[in-house]
Amino acid sequence: MITLIANIFISSFFLVNFMDCSRFFNDCQNIKSSGPLTPKGIRLTSNSTTSQDIVITWYTENMASEPKVLYSENPTLLNNITITPSMQYVDITYLYTAYLSNLESNHTYFYQVSSDSSNVRETLNFTTTIERNTNVLKFLMFGDSRTNRTVRQKIAEKVVSSFDDIDFTIHTGDIVANGRNQTQWNNYFEDIEILSKIIPGYYIEGNHEHTDGKMYENIYLPSNGMNSYYYSFSLGPIKFIGLNTNRDEGIQTSWLESELKLADQDNETFWKIAYMHEPIFNSMVGRSDLSDLIPTWCPLFEQYGIDLVFAGHNHYYERSYPMNNLKEFDSDSLYEFNNPSNPMYFITGGAGAPLYTRGGSNPDYTAYYNSTYHFIVIEVQVDDVKEETTLILETWAMPENAGVFGDIYLIDKITITKKGALLNIDYPNKNNLFGQNAPEFNVTFSKRNLDPTWYSINSTWYTIDSGLTNFTFENGVGTIDQLVWDTKPNGTVNIQFFANDTLGVIYSNEVTVQKDIIAPQISINLPIMNQTFGEDAPIFNITIKDANLIAMWYSLDGGLTNIIFTINGSINQIEWNKFPNGIVVITFFANDSMGNVAYQEIIVTKYISEPNNGLIPYDLYLRFIITITVITIIVLFSIIIISWRKNLFQFPLRKDL
């Protein structure tokens, strides 16, 4: 019996180790110990912005006497390069960092980490992806792994056992519960080592990392932003921008715009993806959000064509429709999107933190919501022949019941296709508004995978009347012909851009913009013409029609003093008090965002005393009575005088008689 139990134990031990070692060609025979000098928590990161220079970091409990990394393209580590890592003592452990630079793209490298000859980890391997013009790129997004060690262990295991072609991972923050605690960092990277030792990871700071935590002693990232607090990198056809919602967001805005401009100038960038920890749009009542960034970051996302925005912090999964600043969202399709013009916003916070039940109904912008442990796998493909690029996003849930984890299953899948990808319209964007002046434009042409010997853009042109009139332009920039623009009426204008190469292949893309050259229409309902008012300023009621109205104001003095208003009400009393009795001209103005200005006037009468039912003012009536009385008196006196003079004239006659 004892023998049987021993055999089962030994068999189980080797089975577990075989499973752990077989998948990635890891040489388990090199594991010599699991003591305080054993390298643990091995993780790969990259501090490069355009390629996969790899940084290997690990820790030991005691200080290693001969820490080193051997790496080679040979599985047996033949002809290896030896690197002595830097070492730092952090709290109770020793951290080691080795930089593997100038690695070749799309190569598999084998490596081995050791503390000394007795403490050697198994031979591991990783594969550098990445040539910029790769046509396929696959990566993983997840976040909020703090707290539950079993959940994050299981997620790492299931990712490794289910996907063998992931190029890198991105973590959206709250990696550990307390970023000041080195033991928690050690635990995290031990928990996910099965994943982190073979696939490089990018991370962004969450609130649990703390700004004074130990994140940047444990993780090495690109430093082209501010240190590595926020940064960008470009892999394959994607520009990634990691934003830090745990630091001052204001100073990141100009950097964000400059990064997006760089992406626009890069012919290899077909997709732009941003990620951060706290969400800008928060669907969980009572949960803090970053809505103050809606007027600053979101317009940049929209203007420069960010495709996807990821966050965590809320411990569930949520996907929005493509949406514009919560004003417009495309709900035509739930899972298939073609050339969406606005970003989609995701929350992925289900990698180990306690799940949140959001409660309530979905906001209008929410396309899918599920509170479950999960991770997201994204694959981007570029088809040069079909002139299109496709992004496939799959969200996988990991079911849990009383600590038992089942097989992962797909809960959400979307496909985004961009056609005309080889001719990219950077400006104008869809539904941009223009007035009398014709729009400027900026387009770029990708030269992906085309032999420069055979490829050139020898003619470029655009049309805004379905090809009736074509205009050539050079260098991708110009201004739409003013005369043709003038012929277009108010409303939608479709601009098509074309380019052909010397092989006769024609590329095209189009954008719809709005033209507004009509001034606002103003109707004055109150006051009515020639209405009389007393001391109280008149009430006004006007109706203004303009889809792009931006301001309304009035003036009582011909424009010297302008009073801005947003709703109907009373004329400013102070302005009204400035006027004596008599005629007052009130001029109402309105303008739209295209600079079209309109005005309407109304004339009223002012009398200090109260109006007499709007008919005859009391003082006017009094003047009338006085005037009539005076006239009557004058007439009576005149009659008397005339009569007296007549009598005076007749007296001598009688005397004469």
- Specify the residue, 372 or 612, whose C-beta has the smaller distance to Fe ion: 372
HSE, side-chain direction, 13 A CA sphere, residue 492: 6
512 binds Fe ion (CB under 5 A): no
Report the helix count and the strand count for the chain, using DSSP H and E.
Answer: 10, 43
Q: 228: which residues sit within 8 A by CB, 6+ positions away? A: 47, 216, 219, 220, 221, 222
Q: Which of 179, 206, 213, 222 binds Fe ion (CB under 5 A)?
A: 206
Distance CA 512, CA 429 (A): 8
- Specify the residue, 53 or 174, whose C-beta has the smaller distance to Fe ion: 174
**Beta carbon of residue 173, minimum distance to Fe ion (angstroms, whole number):** 6
Of the candidate spans 118-126, 206-214, 379-387, 627-635, the one that interacts with Fe ion by CB under 5 A turns out to be: 206-214
SS3 for 92-133 is CEEEEEEEECCCCCCCEEEEEEEEECCEECCEEEEECCCCCC
**Beta carbon of residue 194, minimum distance to Fe ion (angstroms, whole number):** 25
- Specify the residue, 206 or 236, whose C-beta has the smaller distance to Fe ion: 206
Angle at 442 between CA 439 and CA 447, to 5 degrees: 155
Q: Which of 157, 174, 268, 516 binds Fe ion (CB under 5 A)?
A: 174
DSSP state of 203: E
- Specify the residue, 314 or 555, whose C-beta has the smaller distance to Fe ion: 314
Ranked by CB distance to Fe ion, the top (closest) residue is 313
Distance CA 371, CA 355 (A): 6
- Specify the residue, 313 or 606, whose C-beta has the smaller distance to Fe ion: 313
Of the candidate spans 82-90, 305-313, 357-365, 566-574, the one that interacts with Fe ion by CB under 5 A turns out to be: 305-313
Of the candidate spans 58-66, 170-178, 434-442, 449-457, the one that interacts with Fe ion by CB under 5 A turns out to be: 170-178
Q: Which of 121, 158, 171, 313 binds Fe ion (CB under 5 A)?
A: 313
- Specify the residue, 242 or 538, whose C-beta has the smaller distance to Fe ion: 242
**Beta carbon of residue 279, minimum distance to Fe ion (angstroms, whole number):** 10
207 binds Fe ion (CB under 5 A): yes
**Beta carbon of residue 251, minimum distance to Fe ion (angstroms, whole number):** 21
DSSP state of 28: G
**Beta carbon of residue 210, minimum distance to Fe ion (angstroms, whole number):** 11
What 122-125 contacts at long range (C-beta under 8 Å, 24+ apart), as own/partner pairs, is: 122/21, 122/26, 122/27, 122/28, 122/29, 122/30, 122/31, 123/25, 123/26, 123/27, 123/30, 123/75, 123/77, 124/24, 124/26, 124/42, 124/197, 124/198, 125/24, 125/25, 125/26, 125/75, 125/198
Residues in the chain, how many?
Answer: 657
- Specify the residue, 175 or 194, whose C-beta has the smaller distance to Fe ion: 175
Q: How many residues bind Fe ion (CB under 5 A)?
A: 4
Of the candidate spans 95-103, 313-321, 325-333, 492-500, the one that interacts with Fe ion by CB under 5 A turns out to be: 313-321
Distance CA 646, CA 560 (A): 65
- Specify the residue, 147 or 429, whose C-beta has the smaller distance to Fe ion: 147
Angle at 96 between CA 92 and CA 98, to 5 degrees: 170
Picking from 349, 288, 429, the residue whose alpha carbon sits closest to that of residue 145 is 349
Of the candidate spans 54-62, 126-134, 202-210, 497-505, the one that interacts with Fe ion by CB under 5 A turns out to be: 202-210
Distance CA 109, CA 98 (A): 14
- Specify the residue, 126 or 310, whose C-beta has the smaller distance to Fe ion: 310
**Beta carbon of residue 464, minimum distance to Fe ion (angstroms, whole number):** 48
The type of residue at 454 is: W
Picking from 15, 18, 38, 16, the residue whose alpha carbon sits closest to that of residue 26 is 18
- Specify the residue, 248 or 364, whose C-beta has the smaller distance to Fe ion: 248
**Beta carbon of residue 313, minimum distance to Fe ion (angstroms, whole number):** 4
Of the candidate spans 229-237, 308-316, 388-396, 498-506, the one that interacts with Fe ion by CB under 5 A turns out to be: 308-316
Residues 36-95 that bind Fe ion (CB under 5 A): none
Of the candidate spans 14-22, 205-213, 520-528, 600-608, the one that interacts with Fe ion by CB under 5 A turns out to be: 205-213
Distance CA 583, CA 605 (A): 5
515 binds Fe ion (CB under 5 A): no
Distance CA 561, CA 347 (A): 50
Angle between helix 182-191 and helix 149-162 axes, rounded to 10 deg: 30
- Specify the residue, 299 or 354, whose C-beta has the smaller distance to Fe ion: 354
Q: Which residues bind Fe ion (CB under 5 A)?
A: 174, 206-207, 313
